[in-house]
Structure formats: C-alpha cells, structure tokens
Amino acid sequence: PAAFNWNFDSAIGDWAGFYGSTRLTALATTGKSLEVYARKADGTGASLLLAGKVQPGLSYRFAADVMVGRTTSVAALAYAYLYLEDTTGNGQLLSLGVVNTQGGVWGKLQQSFQVPAGTYRRMELMVLSTRSDQSLYLDNVTLNRL
C-alpha cells in the first residue's frame, strides 16, 4: 500500500516502546492513543519497523499527533526520526520534524522526506520526546507515499 494509518483505536499493532513501556489509553482526540510510560531517559518514546512499508528512493509524507504529559505546566519537545541502517551496519537519522508541546494539548509533527537510495537492513520510524518523567502520547500517525 502507498498509505499507512495508525489511530490506535483498537490495537498497538507493531509499535514498540523505545526505552519505555506502551499501552492504549482513552486520552485521545478520538478513540484511543498510544501511551509510552515509565520512560528511561529523554529521547525515548515509540518506534515502528518500516521494512516493506517504505522504499529507498521514494518520497513520503509523515504526520502524527503528539502530546507530552497531561498537565498544562509541562513543556516538552517532541520529534521524529527515520533511522536507516545499511547492510554494513552504518546508521543515519533523517529528521521528520520537531514540535514544542504543552501538557494536555495535542501538537502535530509533519514532514515530507525522501528515503535515500540504497540497501537497508533496518528502517525504523521513531517518535521521541524530552521530559522522560512524563508520558508521551501518540495518535493518528500517517505515512503516505508522494
């Protein structure tokens, strides 16, 4: 498919915690969202392996709703990366956007990007944030081929 959507209303799917634990929560714009809690450090969050979902050389549009913490006094930075690792083990990060967040308020990450040509053994979408003392909430993640 050329379009992927994760709204977390019924399942976490293939998403995993990146140095944190995951669960579905009712805190969402609609339905449910993915909560990453018990985070070990800043720069932690959720990740998704993209093998078979994106292809080298093609362009995509990424978007996601993010929130860090439930209390309005919580200010944080949420950001996303595409991590690419080639067959020799060399890794690179492509920035997929940064947004300042306020607790209890959904912010939006969105970015168009091109996957560099090459052969990769690992392609991983990572949505991370500062303020590891707070939960990171993720909802309405989309990835569309341009």
Tens digit of pLDDT for each residue in 70-125? 999 999 999 999 999 999 999 999 999 999 999 999 999 999 999 999 999 999 99
The predicted structure's pLDDT at residue 145: 97
**Which one is the CATH code of 15-137: 2.60.120.260, 3.90.550.10, 3.30.70.20, 3.40.190.10?**
2.60.120.260
Per-domain boundaries in the chain: 15-137
Other Cβ atoms closer than 10 A to 104: 15
Entry pTM: 0.95
Q: Contact at 8 Å (CB) between 144 and 5?
A: no
The predicted structure's pLDDT at residue 54: 93
Q: What percent of the chain has pLDDT over 90?
A: 95
Indicate the pLDDT class of residue 28, thresholds 50, 70 and 90: confident
Tokens of 1: 């498919």
CA 19, CA 36: separation in Å to the nearest integer? Answer: 9
